[in-house]
Amino acid sequence: MNVLASIAVLGFLILFHESGHFLAAISQRIRVNGFSIGFGPALIQKQINGVTFAIRALPLGGFVSFPDVGKGSNIPADDPDLLQNRPIAQRALVISAGVIANLLLAWILLAGQASLIGIPNQPDPGVLIMSVQQGEAADIAGLSPGDRIVSISGKSLGTDQEAVKLFINKVQNAPEEKILIERIREDKQETISIKPSNNLGNGKIGAQLQPNFTNEIHPAKNISEIITHADTQFIDFLTRTINGYKGLVTDFGATSQQLSGPVKIVEIGAHLSEQGGSGLILFAALISINLAVLNSLPLPLLDGGQLALLLFEGVRGRPVPEPIQQAIVQSGFLLIVGLSVVLIIRDTTQLNMFQQLISH
C-alpha cells in the first residue's frame, strides 16, 4: 500500500508539471494537440476538442505536444496560434510553466500540511538513514533504512540539516578509519563501528541521509506561523536540491553514487509514507522541487534545454535550424531513457526483496 501511495504521488507530480505547460499554452490560445503522461506507445488515449490525451508505456515523465506544419498538415505555417509564431516571452512562459507549477505545488503542500495537519514539533536529535548501497560501508556495518544515528565519535548530533552536515563532515574526514556511532532502531539504542571507504581522499559510507523529523505536531497558531513554516521548509528543500545537482559538476564521483532512479524514489516514498500523511506530504514536496530543479537544467529534452535554445534564438535573431533541434531532442530522449534504465537496474538489484529472491 505504501508503494502504491508513492507511485501515485509521482504520477500526480508529473501530471501537475505537464498541466502547467498545458494551461500556460491554452490560456494564451496557443494550439495544443497532445497531452501525454509517459513516453513511447500509448496504452490509453482519448481525443477531446482536438487534443489527444494519453497514458504511455514508459512512465518516465510526460510531455505536451504542439501541431507541426507541413507533413500533410492543413495548418498554415504563418498561423499566429502556433507556438513557433508567438513572441519569445510567450513561448518562454509555456516552457517554464511546468517548473513554476512544481515549485508552487511544493509550497502549497507544505503550507497545507502546516494548516490542516499541523506544524511538527522539534524533532529528536539525529539523522535518518533513508537508503543503503549494497556492499558499501553502511551496509557492512549493518545500517538499514529507518535507523536513526544520534552520535558519531562521541559527539551528539543536533537536529535538522545541521545534524546531517556534522555527520557528513565526520565521515568525509575519516577515510579508512573506524568510527563509533550510536544507532537507534525500534527504540533500541546501540553503539556500532563503521569504516568509511576512501573516495578520492574523502570518507564515504554509501547511504542517503535525511534530517530526523517527528510525527508529533501542534496546531498552527496563526497564518503567519503557517507561511513562515512553509517558507522555511521550501527554501531548505530547494537549497539542498540545488546543492545536490551542483555536486554532480563539482564532485561527480561521490555525488553520482547518490543518484536515485524511479525504483529507489518509490522505495524512499514508501518508507516515508510509513510515517503517516505528514511523511507522504514531505515526500511529495521534496520530489516536486526535485522535478522543478531537474527540468531547469540546460539539457536536451528538458525545459531548461528548450529555454537555452530559445535564448540562443533571441541572441541569434532566428530559430535554430529544425534538423539540429530534432537531433538535440532525440539525443536527449536517449540520454534520459538510458540513464533511467541504468538507475532502475541498479536500484532494483539493491532492493531487499530482490536480494531475497535471487538468493534462493
| Of the residues 190, 213, 236, the one at which a domain ends | 213
- CATH code of 155's domain: 2.30.42.10
**One domain, residues 331 and 192:** no
User: Residue 89 has what pLDDT?
Assistant: 93
**One domain, residues 284 and 323:** yes
Q: What are the cell numbers at 169? A: 563532515
Per-residue pLDDT tens digits for 83-111: 989 999 999 999 999 999 999 999 999 99
User: Residue 201 has what pLDDT?
Assistant: 83
User: Residue 299 has what pLDDT?
Assistant: 78
Tell me, yes or no, whether 41 lies in a domain: no
Per-residue pLDDT tens digits for 207-249: 888 777 666 778 888 999 999 999 988 998 888 778 777 766 6
User: Residue 247 has what pLDDT?
Assistant: 64
Q: Look up the domain containing 294 and give its range.
A: 1-32+78-121+218-360
In sequence order, the β-bridge partners of residue 217 are: 120
User: Residue 314 has what pLDDT?
Assistant: 86
**One domain, residues 185 and 223:** no
Q: What is the largest CA-CA distance in the chain?
A: 74
**One domain, residues 104 and 3:** yes
Q: Could you say which residues of the chain have pLDDT below 70? A: 1-3, 69-73, 122-123, 213-215, 247-277, 325-360
Q: How many domains does the chain have?
A: 2
User: Residue 119 has what pLDDT?
Assistant: 82
Tell me, yes or no, whether 205 lies in a domain: yes
**One domain, residues 110 and 229:** yes
**One domain, residues 224 and 166:** no
User: Residue 45 has what pLDDT?
Assistant: 94
Q: Which residues are catalytic?
A: 18
**One domain, residues 342 and 261:** yes
Tell me, yes or no, whether 61 lies in a domain: no
> CA 40 from chain center: how many Å?
22
